[in-house]
Structure 1
Amino acid sequence: MHLTDKRFTEFDLPPELQQGIADCGFTHLTPVQARSLPLTLEGRDTAVQAQTGSGKTAVFLITIFNHMLRTPRRKTRGVCPRALVLTPTRELAVQVAQDAQDIGRHLPFRVIAAYGGVDYQKQRQAIAEGVDLLIGTPGRLIDYLKQKVYHLRDVELAVIDEADRMFDMGFIGDIRYLLRRMSRYDRRQSLLFSATISDRVMELSYEYMNVPELVEITPDKVVAEKVEQVLYHVSSAEKTSLLLGLLKREDWTKALVFVNTKRAAARLKPVLDAAGHPAAVLSGDVSQPQRLKILRRFMAGEIRVLVATDVASRGLHVEGISHVFNYDLPLEAEDYVHRIGRTARAGASGRAVSLACEDYVFGLDAIEEYIGHKVPVAWPEDDWFEPVPQVKRPPRPRGRSRSGGPRGRGGRKRG
């Protein structure tokens, strides 16, 4: 990550907040922080275009904590968070909440994350007991709001993170529902962050923000400079063999292996286990408590190989991922950038290895057009291919047909 000459200590921030920033190891600002923090700390509404991993989370968290330290809480009836952060995914909500705990470790504020897949009543009770900073996904936040567990009439700061993905995932209706129930646009500070500032994102900002400042950080390269990319053309039948060979040859610490389907992940994990590379799977089938457990073990180094679908391509920040393997080339060009962006973070270097088989090579042209250059191609030697251990194939998922109903014999939908 490129850093500027500007230091966090140059800002007039409360000592306890400066201490939390220093404890996180933050000294110099990234370009997006240097451009946007002076605006947000002045209380201006701001729309920021910046890539993932550019340091935008610290921008809004520092802004929120600075405001709450310097401004008395508004009088309100019932439970109302002083600040609300909306994220598109559970993983990103967890990550933002963890960053908030780290930066705000010396602060007296109550930070709560609300998202699906975990204890519903526990989250509900935590919010009902009072909250200063509420972070969550739209569905769960709306659920508790409709039950009047909390309200938004006196919210002081609102943040929409990864707005472009909110649109892609169909959350825009939910976002508008929440914004319409907040304090007036001129009685709150609103911040919006997006990898791309499209017309629809700008329309949202003009509709619900108070004359927002626009900050655009457009990197010279779509892919981080310190990511070394390489691509191998290989048949689908030999792909697993080559992956095992690369894991044997490459000098790696933690590896993130991306596949396109949950079934591919389920097939690959036992093979990696049998080959001496114990792995875990992160996909849409994994429950939220189990996801968090897997991520904690991966962060701690207890698991060195994580096989994941694109559920992990955004909002996952794990230090020390030296290698990203695209076992399957992604179906969307933008996902390639997000996937390989999981390595070479916080100034480190990393390596992104892609395996282009006949099933997914058709997406290579779109990827190269999107990143603006050819992915360097290398050719594996014959002795790079390792024998693939024979393992029992995982059973096919049962219980639901594609249309959602229970299956009878022969795969027919009952009733």
Structure 2
Amino acid sequence: MPQTHLTDTRFDQFALHPSILAGLEAAGFHFCTPIQAETLPLALAGQDVAGQAQTGTGKTAAFLVVALQRLLEQEMAAVPAAETMQAASDTQSGAGLEGGAPQPGVEAGVESATELVDKARAEPVSSRARQPRVLILAPTRELAVQIHKDAELLASHTGFRLGLVYGGTGYQAQRDEIAAGVDILIGTPGRLIDYLKQRVFDLRQVEVVVLDEADRMFDLGFIKDIRFVLRRLPPPTERLGLLFSATLSYRVMELAYEHMNDPRMIEIMPEQVTADRITQKGYMVANEEKVPLLIGLLRQFKDARSMVFVNTKREGERVWGYLEGNGLKAAMLSGDVPQKKRLSLLKRFQEGELAIMVATDVAARGLHIPGVTHVINYDLPDDAEDYVHRIGRTARAGEAGDAISFVCESYAMGWPDIEAFIGARIPISTVEPALLAEVDPKTRVRVERRSRDSGREGRRGAPRERSGRPGDRAAGRAAGGRGRGGTRREPPTKRKQPEAGQAHPPASPAASDDLAAVNPVAAGPEAQAAVSTTASSDAEAPKKRRRRRSRRRSEAATEPDPQV
């Protein structure tokens, strides 16, 4: 790997603890990057630092080394003075004993501070409160996971306990881990504040606070959460503050001056970090040629690991579908991918199992994926600053890479802003027909979507009930009543009157009952008693039901006698 990104400053030139140097040796770090060479002298001396640097420049190692050194120095200084004085007194008294024979073990002198620290750290957590002393905040879950991974390597010889909290998975497991006690807490603002409000931990013992990708905190709307956390820390004069951002904008500087102790500004310009090692190029392309051009380029790459950036999840799924349908295995990474699946896809991509990753800007910041050779801006970003973050996925740690952008009809208006932001002209060319692959629209693999109404399918097949008594309604429809889905009730017809001199036909039992309902007096005493009994029972029934029954009786009474 080329070493042009490194300086002549070595880590062992600083007065670092041997356990930290052992971790750096295990990681293969010997020389500092520019941001490390500028940050370490100031931060190790206790000066707050606000640094501007792109991802992949070594800033993670910079603030981890500072935090670990601070904790080790505090533990060395916190060795009980009483034990030291007692050991010295024992040494002197042993040397002055009659006969001049020192007590056993006195010549070994006082226990070293490192041994006392190790002994204290070996005590069970229940016997002493262990609250976070280093707090590291990251804007995304992926960045938090990556910082934790780097911290495990660098702190492997220190014995410090690390904690990691982020949303989307493992709520109770993360809670139990933090409740058991940690020295260094790394996490995203949302889940961290959740546990803080539950008093799973407190921030009164924090000695070092780190804000990584501070500008991204603003972009994702976390700034209120960040202020909530910072206001619950010890005063800035009693802790060390480190802030890193891709750009030191006005709002980032305002945050730094509000919650840090007179921070020193360090700026590592992008031209010093990435521009010399990234080959940038653009293609003037029509919208309908973007997929054929993408497939044609990816087929030409040999032993490549490529990231394809899109602006929307829907477009990303469409691009992924065409890649899969044309024999190019790829992963799709967007903001709503479940956390477990997201980590699995990242692992497969990092290990080389998948050579292509289609991603939205959620993966453009903070991810450390070694060996990315090509970055393709399938859609130009809406913000020129995001262009720098996207192409920063390649040419990391001194390696070289290619950045290819599609200047299409939909996003071409943002191209001048990108060139103005980076302060350089990017060569752009037209698309040669040989670069366009033949793509059949039928080859696209469709992403299975869960229907919104999947939970209603069982209900749609059954008739809708508007009351708690479906049997009553069903009986009413069977009787000819008009209901939801029932038959229309015919209007009552007028009873046919017999002609003059014609005798009344014999009444059927049903007709007699109808007559009793209409004129109980004419029906006789038995009918009057029956009607009286019916009226009393109707009075006990609900009013609405009584009206329905009386209406039905009226209709029955006015229906023509079938014998007429």
Give me the TM-score of the superposition, normalised by structure 1: 0.92
**2:175 equivalent in structure 1:** 124
- 1:208, 1:238 → 2: CA distance? 50
Q: How far off is 1:299 after superposition? A: 0.8
Equivalent residue for 2:202, pick from 151, 154, 161:
151
CA displacement 1:131-176 (0-9 Å, x = unmatched): 1110111111110000000000111111111112212222221111
2:244 equivalent in structure 1: 193
Residue pair 1:260, 1:309 contacting (<8 A) in 2 also: yes
Deviations 1:361-410 (A, max 9, x none): 1211111111112221133321221122422433567539xxxxxxxx9x
Conserved in 1, the CA contact under 8 Å of 2:274 and 2:395?
no
Q: Name the SS for the 1:67 alignment partner.
A: helix
Q: Which moved more, 1:120-129 or 1:100-109?
A: 100-109
Cα shift at 1:240? 0.7
- 1:26 equivalent to 2:29? Answer yes
CA distance in 2, matches of 1:254, 1:354: 16
- Which residue does the alignment assign to 1:317? 368
CA distance in 1, matches of 2:371, 2:271: 25
TM-score by length of 2: 0.68
Residue 305 of structure 2 contacts residue 374 of structure 2 at CA under 8 Å; is this kept in 1?
Answer: yes
Note closer, same or farther for the CA distance 1:177–1:77 as it changes in structure 2 (3 Å cut).
farther
Q: 1:221 touches 1:371 (CA, 8 Å); kept in 2?
A: no
Question: Partners in 2 of 1:29 and 1:227 — Cα distance?
Answer: 21
Q: Tell me how far apart the structure 2 counterparts of residues 220 and 260 of structure 1 sit (CA, whole Å).
A: 25
Paired residue type of 2:452 = G
Partner of 1:368: 419
1:201 CA displacement = 2.1
Whose relative contact order is higher, 1 or 2, with alpha carbons under 8 Å and at least 6 apart? 1
Q: Are 1:391 and 2:444 matched, yes or no?
A: yes
1:63-142 superposed matches below 5 A: 63-72=66-75, 78-142=129-193
Amino acid paired to 1:185:
P
Alpha-carbon distance, 1:217 to partner: 2.2
Q: From 372, 375, 378, give the equivalent of 1:327.
A: 378
Which has the larger displacement, 137-146 or 37-46? Answer: 37-46
- Over alpha carbons, which structure has the higher Rg? 2
Q: CA deviation at 1:221?
A: 5.8
C-alpha distance in 2, partners of 1:100/1:267? Answer: 37
Alpha-carbon distance change, 290 to 395 in structure 1, aligned in 2, over 3 angstroms: closer
Among 241, 256, 268, the residue aligned to 1:217: 268
Q: Using the alignment, how far apart are the partners of 1:56 and 1:311 within structure 2?
A: 20
Structure 2: which amino acid aligns with 1:20?
G
Match of 1:281 among 313, 322, 332: 332
Post-superposition offset of 1:178: 0.7
Contact persistence 1:78–1:151 (CA under 8 A): no
* Match status 1:238 vs 2:289: yes
Task: Name the counterpart of 1:15.
Answer: 18
Whether 2:258 is the aligned partner of 1:207: answer: yes
SS of 2:262's equivalent in the other structure is coil
- Answer yes or no: is the 8 Å Cα contact 2:324–2:444 preserved in 1: no
Supply the RMSD in Å over aligned alpha carbons.
2.1
For 2:417 and 2:449, how far apart are their aligned partners in 1?
32
Match of 1:62 in 2: 65
Contact preservation (8 Å) 2:54, 2:389? no
Partner of 2:537: none
Q: Is 1:88–1:166's contact at 8 Å kept on the other side of the alignment?
A: yes
- Residue 219 of structure 1, CA deviation: 4.2
Can you give the 5+ residue segments of structure 1 that lack an aligned partner in the other structure? Answer: 401-408, 410-415
Q: CA deviation at 1:10?
A: 1.2
Distance in 2 between residues matched to 1:224 and 1:22, nearest whole Å: 29
Moved over 4 A (4+): 73-79, 395-398
Unaligned runs of 5+ in 2: 80-126, 454-459, 461-564
* Residues 222, 337 of structure 1: 8 Å contact kept: no
Partner of 1:161: 212
Task: Please state whether the residue corresponding to 1:71 is helix, strand or coil.
Answer: helix
Distance between the aligned counterparts of 1:122 and 1:59, measured in 2?
29
Asked whether the 8 Å contact 1:164–1:195 carries over to 2, the reply is: yes
Whole-angstrom CA distance in 1 between matches of 2:451 and 2:158: 48
Deviation at 1:78, TM superposition (A): 4.8
- Structure with greater proportional helix content: 2
The residue aligned with 2:473 is: none
For the pair 1:44 / 2:44, whether they are aligned, the reply is no
Supply the distance in 2 between the matched residues of 1:393 and 1:230 (Cα, whole angstroms). 31
- Are the aligned partners of 1:224 and 1:344 in contact in 2 as well (CA < 8 Å)? no
Worse overlay, 117-126 or 66-75: 66-75
1:354: which partner in 2?
405
Displacement of 1:40 after TM fit? 0.8
Richer in strand (by share)? 1
- Whichever residue aligns with residue 227 of structure 1, its letter is I
Matching residue's letter, 2:338: S
Percent sequence identity over aligned pairs: 52
The amino acid that maps onto 2:299 is: K
Q: CA deviation at 1:207?
A: 2.0
